[in-house]
Structure 1
């Protein structure tokens, strides 16, 4: 079985679930700043003919003054809906969607690669492909210094394991040919960043067929946290 990774520069994701998220801004602002984001759409054909289409719609961020009320505290609410469609000559019967964000302090995160060494929740290769980490936590209350970046997942699903015990998943698993994930006004706080802060959404989708397991990573547009 071949394993292939593909990367794209727009963000999207599929499965029905609500996510949790928050961001930070450099200076304390008294008024909220609403940032509409363009979202995006991408279609990728895998090596066995499977066609994966991902859309990100209704994406936005609302930056507000942090309760910390200092230049090193940021706060934001983020919203979006990610949708996945599988078609073509394929044996795929579903997939897994891992939506998340990368947050950086004085770090460039506007390319496929995430400079500054993004860590925490996602493993990144040199081409900007994102692979979920088994120890990843969802949500974010981050502390970053200059030149640092961290990534985290939006989802935290409580599901029983094989023995009936509680476990947590950072993905939404769907069956059939389509899935989606929607999150609304999810919060994050950033502490410790005295410089320019930036965030960017991403969605990693795993599709498995009889012939291939493929990861497709989709990126949203970077936006300023202040």
Structure 2
């Protein structure tokens, strides 16, 4: 179930995230002693500052299971988290693609087509380390599927060395304030990857206007088997 929350101040969890950062990742089995037990992965909170925005990701966790296909090349991960943007500067309402404030450079550089926006999802790779340099190298393709946390499932076919961006959800930012996109047990199925696979969260905030900006926060990479 996807939840959207808009408040006038950051939550207590966000304030805690700003004061301390978890540096280790622990894993545990839901059912000890079972070779194919689900693996629970708690992930650290993160925060990043950008022009006119403080971007925070809290409460992230993943549950990893073998694929029901039982073919050795598939696995399933359920992800949960809360992406929060505290936006102090953005034009109010929607701005057309050619009539932004003053028609200044930067107005038309938004991929959101006229409105500031927060979006969140996951980068998933097969037999490749999903570090910042791998992402920025441009080797990734996109799987633009929204609403997985509403009860659907995202299926990926990944070969060795392939990386995909999976979009979970987004929220338009129509004026300054605090915006959150929360997802719970969003299911991502990976097939075709016989080697190891990794995933990591991403959250992007685009601020439109004369001074266009894009702020991206990546989570910690974790193994999905």
Q: In 2, are the aligned partners of 1:116 and 1:148 still within 8 Å (CA)? A: no
What do you get for the CA RMSD once the two structures are aligned?
A: 2.2
Number of residues of Structure 1 aligned to a counterpart in Structure 2: 165
Where relative contact order (Cα < 8 A, 6+ residues apart) is larger, the structure is: 1
Larger fraction in helix: 2
Match of 2:128 in 1: 107
SS of aligned partner of 1:141:
strand
Match of 2:59 in 1: 58
TM-score (norm 2): 0.67
Q: In 2, are the aligned partners of 1:42 and 1:53 still within 8 Å (CA)? A: yes
SS of aligned partner of 2:142:
coil
**Which residues in structure 2 correspond to 1:114-193 (within 5 Å)?**
114=135, 117-121=139-143, 136-138=144-146, 139=148, 140-155=154-169, 171-176=170-175, 177-193=177-193
- 1:196 deviates by 0.8
Larger fraction in strand: 1
Match of 2:23 in 1: none
Q: Mark the CA change 1:190 to 1:91 in structure 2 (over 3 Å): closer, same or farther.
A: closer
State whether structure 2 residue 15 is matched by structure 1 residue 16: no
Q: In 2, are the aligned partners of 1:29 and 1:65 still within 8 Å (CA)? A: no
- 1:112 deviates by 4.5
SS of aligned partner of 2:81:
strand
- 1:116 deviates by 7.7
Q: In 2, are the aligned partners of 1:202 and 1:220 still within 8 Å (CA)? A: yes
- 1:54 deviates by 0.8
SS of aligned partner of 1:119:
strand
2: CA distance between counterparts of 1:105 and 1:91? Answer: 38
Structure 1 ranges of 4+ moved more than 6 A = none
Match of 2:10 in 1: none
